[in-house]
Amino acid sequence: MALTLEKIYYTAMRKYGIKLLAGRSGIWNTISWIHTVEDIRVVNFLKGQELVVMTGVKNPTVQELIDFTKSVFEVKASGLVFNTGPFITSIPQEIIDFANDNNFPIFILPWEVRLVEFDREFCNLIIQNEQESQNLCSAFKNAIFSPSETELYLPALQKEGILLDEKYCMVKCMPLIMGEGAERYDNTKLFYDLRLHCERIINKTQKKYVIFRHDCYLTIIIPSTNKKQVQNIIAEISSFWKWQHQNGRIYFSVSKYDLTIDRLAEYFETLSIICKLAMKEDKPVWHWEDLGILALLLSVRDMEQLTDYENNTIGTLEKYDRENNTNYCKILSKYLELDGNMQKVAEECFVHRNTVSYYLKKISEMLGFELYSTQDRVKLYIAFYIRDINQL
């Protein structure tokens, strides 16, 4: 529920006559504060997400205005307001072109506007919105981590006009830096930048939503939606690495699209498991509705039951592999994965087809399963799914 330039622009346009000159696509940028800055040498003190105002009282040249704009953009400010009047009479075309190319909003504000009133009104709005956002985020986190203690989140949700039976979708993101130097990358900054990136995207379609980091995941909770809209959001978020000029991957897991608030807790940890599975399979996005039998297994609350099933089904084979340094589990897993095609199993495991046949016969005897039986294959297939979950 971040405050956007669009909301400020809507009010300031009517009340103060502000105009959007360029960079219209960046109007959904989140804003954290308003600063008046006149000297390029202090731009690096900005932290990002600010709306910067320049009056030009130092009589900047055209080139100084251009350099100032690019510097403000480089520190990830949300937008730039030129207070046009006696010092800044017009905006150079190079600035307009730069802003449009980089989706960086440029506004012009009439000289007659009293900046102290402009700043006070919108800084107060920023403070109010920040408090509301924190309260909403805390309420959803309490609903996830302390679902039975409704007094911790129901009052805050009701204050925002949110009912307990309203529907939501939860998305988890797991970003990973790839390649040389990954171990030296600042993870705190990574998640901060990713959150800003997500906010810019979600602001376009959602007014009330929640984003927070927990462990190595970024969790996004948005009002009930459909698969296509979620896919569009994820596709835009995936452009993060291009925006960051870094090599990396983001793995996503998506819950059902119509979860009530009291069911968010059920899916929170499960989505973390799905992200890890997505990474293991190198499949960037997993939707709950596409998980098939895996969704059924992940819905089991008592993991001991699943582990017992695995041990009772393929435990003997796992123990044999450990004690004899064999790879029978891999052979059987590939056999099931490739629908019983022994030639493909042989190719992927780098053994002769006759060797695969010999191994499978021995595996069948050890486990007491008929590998040509559909029923027995399903039992084994489930066991290997559980094994994958337990190995994460």
Among the listed residues 258, 262, 56, 54, the one whose alpha carbon sits nearest the alpha carbon of residue 157: 262
Closest among 166, 153, 213 to 189, alpha carbons compared: 213
With contact defined as beta carbons under 8 Å apart, do 182 and 195 qualify? no
Report how far apart, in Å, the C-alpha atoms of 63 and of each of 59, 68, 97, 104, 110 are.
Answer: 12, 8, 14, 18, 22
What is the spatial distance between Cα 113 and Cα 110, in angstroms, rounded to a whole number? 6
C-alpha dihedral, 133 to 139 to 144 to 145, nearest 10°: 110
Q: What value does the mean pLDDT of the chain take? A: 91
Q: What is the pLDDT of residues 307-365, one digit of tens each?
A: 998 999 999 999 999 999 999 999 999 999 898 898 998 888 888 999 889 999 999 99
In Å, what is the CA distance from 17 to each residue of 3, 109, 118? 20, 7, 11
Integer-rounded Cα Rg, in Å, for the chain is 28
5-121 shares its CATH topology with 303-390: no
pLDDT at 245 over 60: no
Burial class (CB in 10 A: 0-12, 13-18, 19+), 281: exposed
Q: According to the model, what pLDDT value does residue 240 have?
A: 81
How far apart (Å, rounded) are the C-alpha atoms in residues 139 and 374? 48
- CB–CB of 20/105 below 8 Å? yes
pLDDT at 111 over 80: yes
- Indicate whether 210 pLDDT > 90: yes
Q: In Å, what is the CA distance from 106 to each residue of 10, 37, 81, 265? A: 15, 15, 6, 42
Sign of the four-CA dihedral 150, 156, 203, 71: negative
CA distance 306 to 177: 33
Q: What residues have CB less than 8 Å from 344, skipping those under 6 apart?
A: 334, 338
Fold of 5-121: 3.40.1390
For 82-106, the pLDDT digits (tens) are 999 999 999 999 999 999 999 999 9
> Could you tell me the CATH superfamily of domain 303-390?
PucR C-terminal helix-turn-helix domain (1.10.10.2840)
- Per-domain boundaries in the chain: 5-121, 163-298, 303-390
What fold, for 163-298? Answer: Alpha-Beta Plaits (3.30.70)
The full 3-state SS of the chain, as one line of letters, equals: CCCEHHHHHHHHHHHHCCEEEECHHHHHCECCEEEECCCHHHHHHCCCCEEEEECCCCCCCHHHHHHHHHHHHHCCCCEEEEEECCCCCCCCHHHHHHHHHCCCCEEEEECCCCHHHHHHHHHHHHHHHHHHHHHHHHHHHHHHHCCCCHHHCHHHHHHCCCCCCCEEEEEEEEEEECCCCHHHCCHHHHHHHHHHHHHHHHCCCCCCCEEEEECCEEEEEEECCCHHHHHHHHHHHCCHHHHHCCCEEEEEEECCCCEEHHHHHHHHHHHHHHHHHHHHHCCCEEEHHHCCHHHHHHCCCCHHHHHHHHHHHHHHHHHHHHHHCCCHHHHHHHHHHCCCCHHHHHHHHCCCHHHHHHHHHHHHHHHCCCCCCHHHHHHHHHHHHHHHHHCC
**pLDDT tens figures, 144-188:** 999 999 999 999 999 888 888 899 999 999 998 876 666 667 888
What pLDDT was estimated at residue 206? 87
pLDDT at 1: 64
**Proportion of the chain above pLDDT 90, given as a percent:** 70
Which CB contacts under 8 angstroms, 24+ apart, belong to 153-161? 153/261, 157/261, 159/135, 160/132, 160/135, 160/136, 160/208
Question: What is the spatial distance between Cα 161 and Cα 181, in angstroms, rounded to a whole number?
Answer: 46
pLDDT at 8 over 80: yes
% of residues, the chain, pLDDT over 70: 97
pTM above 0.85, yes or no: no
pLDDT of residue 181: 63
Which two tokens mark 130?
A: 């920040």
Residue 211, pLDDT above cutoff 70:
yes
Torsion angle of alpha carbons 345, 347, 352, 356, nearest 10°?
A: -10
User: What's the pLDDT at 243?
Assistant: 54
